[in-house]
């Protein structure tokens, strides 16, 4: 079965190369088919790997260079359920997105498929790799494909520099990672994660180790869209074609956070010792800040793709909170959130794609009431939004409850109300869009929302286009996202995956000593519904619906004076927040520098 391990990378890459070589001789549908087949094969193999790895962790040495006397000579893929699961999630979203593209683009060149496949290989490689420099290589491959895809067939004329902002900030993030790698290599003489971890374990963290770790995680946090590294995300989403946005929001951002967790638990876990609580506080702070900033900015958008992008930032913050707790339950909660959010957000973006292709706009106010004919899309969009509100036991509920419980257990009582509050705000924004576009509720003017440049369409869309091939993947993603929490045995499997993920000693034993350690999943009991979590989930569900209704009908519901009062209170803060998101790359890089310096400085304080 080990033979499967390199395939999630090899299949899409070979298919991409073959498409490039023969693209001039094949028709459009042949391209579609090859790309779809490669992506589906990757999905199936990754899923097989998840099951394979749930029994024991696999270490696969490329070139057959097994570790000698505990020293790695080559590069390994280290497959555990989390790694294979990430590859499977990326391949699933890619497959859905390619099916969707079948009818979405009027004409699409071979090169689009080629880049999509390379992008997929990059994501799979990053998830599976057990070598720090190799992670950097896949990180860059992901990036190179993503930057080009962002600039492809731009759906709006104006803000093309979003693609440049994306490329520049992420490239700088990658350089930070690389400098961190160089520092680690200078200290340990190793690039393999297990070996770095083995060498560093038990050492008192000095400047080199602290700063190297800070640089690596900051680089990954750029990809993970964590405040203050998040600016590029909304810009890139505003520009990128909708099928590409599915992968950005559903898999790529989460892979950045996965990178942080992976590097911490393999290379760095043995270092902080008693100071791990300091690291928790730092990451919790970053996660909470992202959750809040993402949620508020989300509420202020009228460009629906940007709105969903800010919602992704908010959820990325929540996922980071789960990682930051450094507990098995927190990690399992994050993993569950990643899966459910990836599927739901992917489905929501596909809904927006359908709206764009039928109604020629993604502006909430322009679209006011125009979506009433698209009842199927509207229903799916609303269901997807409600799934994000984490109603027990659907959608994000499992993840949210796991990480809230774990946080409460460790004395972070504020996590549950905070996560619930930001969920209310970001979901309310999506529901507001649903109400306005598909039901025609509220007014067609809203002074609260960020102004958007006049729209000028690239391509006139065909409102009569048959949308079955677009609706099917959308529906599948959203229903899968909603129902994921009901899968029997998911919770114990997630907890087992989290335990395996956190076990550095067994990781080292498998990678460097070649020992196979079997683990087993606990009993497959039915989903637990703890009372506190259910209560919070009801609050977030009804809070979101209520806030959306308030946003749509505040002219009728709230007296004039109260509205003006609120505006006076909050207006200044919102103005500052908006102006910080300036769309200018120089500002973003200044913030990035600030973020790296701040994270590095704080880490130095808490770890020493």
| Cβ neighbour number for residue 206 with a 10 Å cutoff | 12
Q: Tokens 């602290």 map to which residue?
A: 210
Min dist CB 437 to another protein, Å, is: 20
Q: Which of 148/439 has CB closer to another protein?
A: 148
Q: Which of 188/280 has CB closer to another protein?
A: 188
Q: Which of 124/402 has CB closer to another protein?
A: 124
- Cis check for the bond before 391: say yes or no (omega within 30 of 0): no
Q: Among candidates 565, 304, 292, which has minimal Cα distance to 432?
A: 304
Sign of CA dihedral 558, 560, 566, 572: positive
Q: Which of 448/532 has CB closer to another protein?
A: 448
Q: Which of 306/436 has CB closer to another protein?
A: 306
287: part of which helix (H) or strand (E)? helix 276-299
SS3 state of residue 131: strand
CA-atom Rg of the chain in angstroms? 23
SS3 state of residue 197: helix
Q: Which of 306/368 has CB closer to another protein?
A: 306
Name, in order, each residue with C-beta under 8 angstroms of 182's C-beta and a sequence gap of 6 or more. none
Do 186 and 211 form a contact (C-beta atoms < 8 A)? no
SS3 state of residue 215: helix
Min dist CB 218 to another protein, Å, is: 10
Burial class of residue 541, CB neighbours in 10 A (0-12, 13-18, 19+): buried
Q: Which of 466/579 has CB closer to another protein?
A: 579
User: What is d(CA 553, CA 569) in angstroms, rounded to the nearest whole number?
Assistant: 20
| Cβ neighbour number for residue 119 with a 10 Å cutoff | 27
Do 95 and 120 form a contact (C-beta atoms < 8 A)? no
Min dist CB 551 to another protein, Å, is: 17
Name, in order, each residue with C-beta under 8 angstroms of 11's C-beta and a sequence gap of 6 or more. 38, 41, 42, 45
Min dist CB 234 to another protein, Å, is: 7
Q: Which of 25/445 has CB closer to another protein?
A: 25
Min dist CB 369 to another protein, Å, is: 24
Q: Which of 198/474 has CB closer to another protein?
A: 198
Burial class of residue 160, CB neighbours in 10 A (0-12, 13-18, 19+): middle
Min dist CB 592 to another protein, Å, is: 9
Min dist CB 415 to another protein, Å, is: 29
Taking each helix axis from N to C end, the angle separating 585-607 and 276-299, rounded to the nearest 10 degrees, works out to 150
Q: Which of 9/392 has CB closer to another protein?
A: 9
Do 53 and 88 form a contact (C-beta atoms < 8 A)? no
Sign of CA dihedral 50, 53, 59, 63: negative
Q: Which of 236/551 has CB closer to another protein?
A: 236
Min dist CB 1 to another protein, Å, is: 13
Q: Which of 293/380 has CB closer to another protein?
A: 293
Min dist CB 239 to another protein, Å, is: 9
| Distances in whole angstroms, Cα of residue 451 to Cα of each of 303, 364, 549 | 9, 11, 22
Min dist CB 260 to another protein, Å, is: 18
Min dist CB 30 to another protein, Å, is: 15
Question: In the chain, what is the straight-line distance between the N-terminal and C-terminal CA atoms, in Å?
Answer: 45
Q: Tokens 């979405």 map to which residue?
A: 104
Do 254 and 301 form a contact (C-beta atoms < 8 A)? no
Min dist CB 296 to another protein, Å, is: 12
Q: Tokens 């350690």 map to which residue?
A: 517
């Amino acid at each position: 079965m080990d033979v499967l391990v390199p395939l999630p990378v090899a299949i899409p890459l070979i298919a991409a190369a073959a498409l490039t070589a023969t693209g001039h001789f094949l028709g459009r549908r042949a391209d579609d088919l090859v790309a779809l087949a490669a992506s589906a094969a990757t999905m199936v193999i990754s899923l097989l790997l998840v099951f394979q790895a749930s029994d024991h962790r696999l270490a696969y040495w490329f070139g057959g260079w097994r570790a000698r006397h505990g020293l790695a000579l080559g590069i390994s893929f280290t497959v555990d359920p989390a790694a294979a699961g990430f590859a499977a999630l990326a391949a699933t979203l890619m497959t859905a997105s390619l099916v969707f593209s079948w009818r979405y683009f009027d004409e699409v060149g071979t090169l689009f498929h080629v880049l999509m496949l390379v992008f997929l290989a990059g994501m799979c490689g990053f998830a599976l790799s057990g070598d720090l420099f190799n992670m950097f290589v896949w990180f860059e491959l992901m990036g190179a494909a993503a930057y080009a895809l962002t600039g492809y067939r731009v759906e709006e004329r104006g803000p093309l520099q979003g693609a440049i902002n994306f490329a520049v900030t992420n490239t700088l993030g990658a350089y930070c990672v690389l400098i961190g790698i160089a520092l680690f290599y200078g200290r340990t003489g190793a690039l393999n994660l297990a070996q770095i971890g083995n060498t560093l374990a038990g050492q008192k963290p000095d400047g080199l180790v602290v700063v190297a770790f800070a640089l690596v995680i900051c680089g990954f946090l750029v990809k993970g869209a964590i405040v203050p590294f998040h600016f590029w995300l909304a810009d890139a989403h505003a520009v990128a074609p909708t099928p590409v946005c599915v992968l950005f929001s559903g898999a790529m951002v989460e892979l950045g956070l996965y990178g942080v967790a992976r590097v911490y638990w393999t290379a760095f876990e043995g270092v902080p010792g008693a100071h791990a609580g300091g690291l928790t506080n730092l990451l919790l702070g970053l996660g909470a800040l992202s959750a809040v900033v993402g949620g508020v900015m989300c509420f202020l958008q009228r460009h629906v793709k940007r709105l969903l992008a800010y919602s992704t930032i908010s959820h990325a913050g929540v996922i980071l909170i789960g990682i930051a707790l450094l507990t098995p339950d927190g990690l399992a909660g994050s993993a569950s959130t990643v899966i459910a959010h990836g599927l739901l957000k992917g489905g929501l973006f596909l809904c927006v794609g359908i709206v764009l292709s039928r109604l020629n706009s993604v502006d909430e106010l322009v679209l006011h009431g125009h979506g009433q004919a698209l009842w199927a899309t509207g229903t799916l969009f609303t269901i997807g939004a409600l799934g994000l509100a984490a109603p027990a036991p659907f959608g994000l509920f499992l993840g949210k409850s796991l990480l809230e419980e774990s946080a409460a257990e460790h004395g972070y009582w504020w996590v549950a109300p905070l996560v619930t509050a930001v969920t209310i705000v970001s979901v309310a924004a999506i529901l507001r869009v649903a109400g306005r576009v598909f039901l025609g509720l509220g007014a067609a003017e809203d002074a609260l929302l960020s102004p958007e440049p006049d729209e000028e369409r690239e391509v006139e869309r065909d409102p009569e286009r048959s949308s079955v091939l677009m609706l099917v993947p959308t529906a599948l993603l959203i229903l899968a996202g909603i129902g994921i929490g009901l899968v029997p045995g998911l919770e114990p499997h997630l907890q087992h995956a989290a335990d395996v993920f956190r076990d550095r000693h067994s990781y080292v034993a498998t990678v460097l000593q070649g020992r196979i350690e079997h683990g087993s999943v606990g009993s497959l009991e039915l989903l637990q519904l703890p009372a506190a979590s259910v209560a919070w989930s009801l609050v977030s569900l009804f809070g979101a619906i209520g806030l959306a209704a308030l946003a749509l009908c505040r002219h009728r519901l709230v007296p004039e004076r109260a509205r003006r009062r609120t505006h006076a209170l909050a207006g200044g803060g919102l103005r500052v927040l908006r102006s910080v998101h300036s769309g200018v790359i120089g500002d973003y890089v200044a913030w990035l520098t600030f973020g790296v310096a701040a994270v590095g400085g704080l880490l130095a304080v808490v770890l020493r």
